[in-house]
Structure 1
């Protein structure tokens, strides 16, 4: 069930597996989400097009090339059920690491989760409006668990194929004596930044910084700087759009915040542990 429909915020018009969401209630269309959605649609989401109907924003979703999860569940083999669950979890992981989109705006409804019957590839539906379908991530996770249990009650996370990965290290490792490491807590793959120099610039634009973080678009091109003075490491924000935080306290522009073993550094919405 779509909570936005229940609350009268959007109205649905369906034609087969194609459908429209018309924004009718107290919510606003989020253009930034929509633009990101367009760039991601071929990989994660059902294709969405924005039109105007009688002065209202109308979001058109094209799902006719797929089958709904609800239509596939009867008679679904255990192998295919586990594949679909793994696909759903993969989509959610990509949204979490995207940096702009929110899982709370994803539709978790068997009628709105679409599957390619030949490959079991999953396409999700995202609603780019200011009101969220789920008020908290806890609510989202609970609903997700219910969906997973319905698809494959005995699903085990160990059923997801895992490709062994080495830790990706950004930049030259250098001599580790007297060095500091920022180890990613929530990256899509094992990742760490090893800092051996006295002045290191960190961001997502390779030709502007010394250490590159390429898995989160919410991180600025020049996001922060780590310096070493008298044996102590400090972090400074470089005017980033989404902020630099140490233990959930924002580092203001021009501030020099000391780092200690075990501190949690957050760049935008990506967390790193100081080692």
Structure 2
């Protein structure tokens, strides 16, 4: 039985990390230190010029997935793609390049199963394996926490709507199985998740994550938008911290792709420590707090099918 507190922690942690990181996105660690010392409070303005607590595409797209799962009581790839397209048509202030291209491809009539692949095949190495699907995939972990095979399948299919690269697809599998392990109270969910993808996923992804948390040098962790870097850094912070706020704060203060580092770290740490561990001052400021709590509860309680 999935813990309701851990389920809420997953979505709220994702959004808290996103909102904490949003004002300092693209800043270096030195620039963050110069302006904020250690950034621990949700602040306004900064990158994108939004009020404190405002989330970005990380949370927006996770909400698209969560609402689809809750309303359809199933994974429905076309419904998720439709929601992505509707969101995109509203003119979000932040959207990744590959996500934008894939949604645009879908809007031309390409199937949701093929749009991400079409875009991926046109992209050169170095611009084809971003973190835009791992940042949003956590709702699947709640909905299918007790169905490992289904969770693997829908994680890959959902990623491929915009991010077809195997590193992205299996990155979502690894992340979602880690979160599901915490939701179910397993002892070592990361090791279990690695075992799940070992032999099928790209070696670079598996071997990079296998270093976490004890082998990797924390001073060499990267803050880029590359899916492998984001997963390694976020897992390290979530696994080595003593509480959720510490994990999210450490991740965001690394600079770079701060909103997504914060979101991915927050989803893992929220599942590990639960919603009650998130600071009240963050939650009181957070955009969509009520929606996130209600959706997490719905996903944890709804028996899911699949329309894939």
TM-score, normalising length: structure 2: 0.26
Greater RCO, 1 or 2 (C-alpha within 8 Å, sep 6+): 2
Larger Rg over CA atoms = 1
